[in-house]
Amino acid sequence: MFIAGILALLVTMALTLWRTLLGPTLFDRLLAVNSFGTKTVLLIAVYGFMTGRPDFLDIALVYALINFVGTIAVLKFFEYDDLGSGKYQEDDF
Amino acid sequence: METLVADVLLTFLVVIAVGIIVLRDLLAAVILLGAYSLTAAGAFVVMDAVDVAFTEAAVGSGISTILFLGALSFTKHEQKPRGNDSWVAVLFVVVTGALLIYGTLDMPYYGSATSAAQTNPDLAVRFLQQSGSEVGPPNIVTSVLASYRGYDTLGETMVVFAAGMAVLSLLGLKRRRPGLEAPEDAPGDTPGETPADALDEPPTSRHT
């Protein structure tokens, strides 16, 4: 069962990677990379259970956090064109 | 099954790397770099190198993405089209890559039964049993890194230190070049400032 799950995850990762490389707009790529990261997290979790080492769940959690931080940073850059030197606030509010 | 997962992840790495090279949009390339690091970290986990995977995920996918974005806010999003690719540069890259691959040839294969860790099983047992009394820290990896292979770690630290000094000297040189004067909207931005302070303020304000 775990093997089937891993194979399905690998196929899904290939599909999201395909969208990342094709994706016409930047949002397509960002969304695809974000879900690619989520699939990596799931893959590590399922892999840990398959090989009888559920401790891999901790690593998967850390990866989920890092993936989140990266996506937030890219989105912030996308919105404000820099990483928050504080300049945009005078203009936007 | 383990080999299959590792192989597929490594194939993903190659695909992402080619995508990074081909894409002209620098922001998309940065996003792809994050995916590259996360995939590499996943491959490390599958290959049982969990500590390396943690470092790769935190440094490669976490802080590197943010540093690249910070660098990108100083420049444009599109790669400048270049008419003529320098053949000397291509030659250097190919030769360096070939040398690196040549350097891996005498390494044992992944999971090889004839690797040093397999042919000297007493060594691992000795580290596991005696590192606590010999070195001290409860974490055996720390003991190996800081004490048993301390010279190796010292060399690595020197490489990192040299890289940091190089970056600092580059930033300092750029600061003193004429034409990169302080912007009008940043009072107190004097040439005597340290390079670290100069990084906080972009040279031009894009939102005015």
Q: Looking at this predicted complex, what is its ipTM?
A: 0.84
> Is B145 part of a structural domain of the chain?
no
Residue in chain A nearest B57 by alpha carbon: A63
Mean pLDDT confidence for B31-37: 89
Which of B27, B45, B68, B184 best tests the A interface by mutation, with the highest count of A CBs <10 A?
A: B45
Q: Using CB atoms, which residue from B1, B25, B207 is nearest to A88?
A: B207
User: What local confidence, expressed as pLDDT, does residue B118 receive?
Assistant: 78
Whether the predicted pLDDT of B201 surpasses 50: no
Whether the predicted pLDDT of B199 surpasses 70: no
> Is B59 part of a structural domain of the chain?
yes
Q: Give how many domains chain B has, as a whole number.
A: 1
Question: Taking a contact as any Cβ pair under 8 Å apart, which residues of chain B between 9 and 28 contact chain A?
Answer: 12, 15-16, 19, 25, 27-28
> Is A19 part of a structural domain of the chain?
yes
Whether the predicted pLDDT of A88 surpasses 60: no
pTM over 0.95: no
| Residue A38 belongs to domain spanning | 2-83
Tell me the pLDDT band of B17, cut-offs 50, 70 and 90: very high
| Residue B55 belongs to domain spanning | 1-80
DSSP B108-167: PPTT-TTSHHHH-HHHHHHHHHHHHHHT--S-HHHHIIIIITHHHHHHHHHHHHHHHHHH
Handedness of CA B32, B28, A81, A64 (dihedral sign): negative
Q: B179 is written with which tokens?
A: 């034409």
Task: Say which residue, A66 or B155, is predicted with more confidence.
Answer: B155
Q: Using CB atoms, which residue from A20, A50, A83 is nearest to B73?
A: A83
CATH of the domain at B71: 1.20.120.1200
For residues B79 and B24, is the Cβ–Cβ distance under 8 A? Answer: yes
Handedness of CA B30, B36, B37, B38 (dihedral sign): positive
> Is A92 part of a structural domain of the chain?
no
Q: Give how many domains chain A has, as a whole number.
A: 1
Other Cβ atoms less than 10 A from the Cβ of B66: the count is 19
Per-residue pLDDT reduced to its tens digit, B61-84:
888 888 888 888 877 777 777 666
Whether the predicted pLDDT of B58 surpasses 80: yes
User: What local confidence, expressed as pLDDT, does residue A87 receive?
Assistant: 55
- Chain B CB contacts of A12 under 8 Å are none
Whether the predicted pLDDT of B159 surpasses 90: yes
A/B interface, count of CB pairs below 8 Å: 116
- Chain B CB contacts of A40 under 8 Å are 38-39, 41-42
For residues B66 and B59, is the Cβ–Cβ distance under 8 A? Answer: no
> Is A55 part of a structural domain of the chain?
yes
Question: Taking a contact as any Cβ pair under 8 Å apart, which residues of chain A between 12 and 51 contact chain B?
Answer: 13-14, 17, 20-21, 26, 29-30, 33, 36-37, 40, 43-44, 47, 50-51
> Is A91 part of a structural domain of the chain?
no
Mean pLDDT confidence for A64-74: 85
Mean pLDDT confidence for A31-47: 90
| Percent of chain B whose pLDDT exceeds 70 | 80
Are A70 and B65 a contacting pair at CB < 8 A?
Answer: yes
Q: Of A18-22, B36-40, B120-124, where does mean pLDDT reach its minimum?
A: B120-124
At A87, which amino acid appears?
Answer: K
Are B5 and A69 a contacting pair at CB < 8 A?
Answer: no
Q: Of A2-16, A72-86, B34-48, where does mean pLDDT reach its minimum?
A: A72-86
User: What local confidence, expressed as pLDDT, does residue B116 receive?
Assistant: 78
Task: Say which residue, B172 or B161, is predicted with more confidence.
Answer: B161
Tell me the pLDDT band of B174, cut-offs 50, 70 and 90: low
